[in-house]
Amino acid sequence: MKCPYCNFEDCRVLDSRSTEEKNAIRRRRECNKCRERFTTYERIEEAPLLVIKKDGTREIFNRNKILNGIIRATEKRGIELKHLEKIARDIEQELRNRMEPEIAAPQIGELVMEHLLELDEVAYVRFASVYRHFKDINKFRQELDRLLGDEGNAGG
């Protein structure tokens, strides 16, 4: 490890510990030449995950986009942020577990809706109305009828 102060290429590790999120190791180091101390972080290098948008363009997957959509859908529903963050993390993990370098945006939207349906039906309908571009009240009603029909079948 090269010292950031004097560029000497030899240092020693004084302390190693996991970060709070358990996704990296924090190492406290000391340069063997100038004796300055510095911190490094060791993380797993994840392969990039690309999202294929509806218009065919590709962009790097961004979990914050999912989280922001979930936050908007659950606004004023009294759901703690930690639950929403967990959903976003779970969705990202599901996508990465597929081991596919590219994923179509509609597949991500469907995953979000599955998770929201388990969490809060109102949030699900809010998200679905934006995601599925309900053009009129009839499309909205069809989704509600489908949702209520599924509930009736599950209970009977």
**Mean of per-residue pLDDT scores for the chain:** 87
Q: Over range 18-39, report the average pLDDT.
A: 91
Q: What integer pLDDT is reported at residue 150 of this predicted model?
A: 64
Q: What integer pLDDT is reported at residue 139 of this predicted model?
A: 74
Reported residue count of the chain is 156
CA gyration radius, the chain: 23
Q: How confident is the model at residue 155 (pLDDT cuts 50, 70, 90)?
A: very low
Q: Over range 137-147, report the average pLDDT.
A: 75
**Partners of 76 in the beta sheet?**
none
Can you give the residue ranges of every domain in the chain? 11-43, 50-155
Closest CA to 23 of 50, 58, 51, 63: 63
Q: What integer pLDDT is reported at residue 156 of this predicted model?
A: 41
CA-CA-CA-CA torsion sign (147, 150, 154, 156):
positive
154: pLDDT strictly greater than 70: no
Q: What integer pLDDT is reported at residue 153 of this predicted model?
A: 52
Q: What integer pLDDT is reported at residue 61 of this predicted model?
A: 94
Residue 16 CB partners (closer than 8 Å, separation 6+): 25, 26, 27, 28
Q: What integer pLDDT is reported at residue 47 of this predicted model?
A: 78
Q: Between these two residues, 144 and 73, which has the higher pLDDT value?
A: 73
Residue type at 5 in one-letter notation = Y
Q: What is the pLDDT of residues 51-104, one digit of tens each?
A: 999 899 999 999 999 999 999 999 999 999 999 999 999 999 999 888 899 999
Closest CA to 127 of 146, 140, 142, 137: 140
26: pLDDT strictly greater than 70: yes
